[in-house]
Amino acid sequence: MIAIFEQVFILIIFCLAGYVLSKVKLVDPSHSKTLSVLLTYVFLPCVSFNTFSAQFTPAYLLDKGPLILVSTGLISVVVLVAKLINRFLTKEPYEKAVNEYSMSMANIAYMGYPLAEGVFGSAVLLDCMMFALPMTIYIGTVGFNMLTAGKEKKSLLKKIFTPSLIGILIGCAVGISGIKLPDVIYEISQKAGACMAPASMLITGMTISCFSIKELLKNKTVYVICAVRLLLAPLLVFGLLKLFGLEFALTAGVVLYAMPCGMNTIVYPQLVGKDCRLGAATVLVSTALSMLTIPLCLYFLLL
């Protein structure tokens, strides 16, 4: 429990640092865009490449390939539950989209991956990335359209083939083929990948600093969303995997679904000039509460 709490605490501290630095005007919140570019195009792809190139083998694919099918099935169930709950929360179309996304899709890359590696090691991180492939595609396609109301035009290929997925595919090719690249390439990618967790949480803190915390905390619906996201979702995933005897997917499933609300409820609406206060509120409250709920979920459901 202490080890898990320490890893969550480290991430929260970086988030708090980004918030404080922005509030005291040492950094401009707009600087988070630069960090986002680095995170999207450098740090996260390097983590993906490192993980898959080192451990993705034909034997692993045969053993853990079903993670993708299991994850696809779970997405369908979790999204359906989110839609049912959402019927009682609001009738406004944009709010319905934010609520549904927040309840069903977690912060898998920015918080889930660093936490999985910090608590369980690189082998579990690889499982999490395999498990997250359908989630990543869902976020980039269905999620993107939901939160932008279809106003932001982006080709299907660009939605699916993100820099992270390209890093995964290159890593898969290297891992499967057994090609030995120069050591300097691995060292560069490892050093870049080490920046992912601090950068992602600094961005979270800087983004939240743009809003009034007092105002964000007033929305009672946010607490229902966070309860679903942080407690119901991981419990539902745990129960389904246990019920159908899919224990091989248990760690990856619970870890990723126990994460707080994803930041795309802020990022995507900003692209089309939407009010993203509701998304910011879910990110703020769920990230803060996750400091307690993540250790509890991982400890009691996995350890």
| pLDDT surpasses 80 at 270 | no
Model confidence pLDDT, tens digit, residues 213-233? 888 888 899 999 999 999 999
Burial of 63 (0-12, 13-18, 19+ CB in 10 A): exposed
In tens, the pLDDT along 125-144 reads 999 999 999 998 899 889 98
- Asked if pLDDT for residue 239 goes beyond 70, the answer is yes
Residue 91 has pLDDT above 80, yes or no: yes
Residue by residue, what is the 3-state secondary structure of 273-285?
Answer: CCCCHHHHHHHHH
pTM of this structure? 0.87
- Helices (H) then strands (E): counts for the chain: 19, 0
Q: Tens of pLDDT along 204-213? A: 888 888 888 8
Stronger pLDDT, 31 or 153, i.e. the higher one? 31
Cα–Cα distance measured from residue 171 to residue 177, given in angstroms and rounded to the nearest whole number = 10
For residue 74, the model assigns a pLDDT of 97
The two three-digit tokens of residue 140, written as one number: 């980039």
Task: Give the pair of three-digit tokens for residue 256.
Answer: 């990723």
Using an 8 Å Cβ cutoff, are 171 and 51 in contact? yes
Q: Which of 106, 109, 52, 49 is nearest to 82 (CA)?
A: 106
223 three-class SS: helix
pLDDT-derived band at 179, boundaries 50, 70, 90: confident
DSSP 141-196: IIIHHHHHTT-S---HHHHHS-HHHHHHHHHHHHHHHT----HHHHHHHHHHHTTH
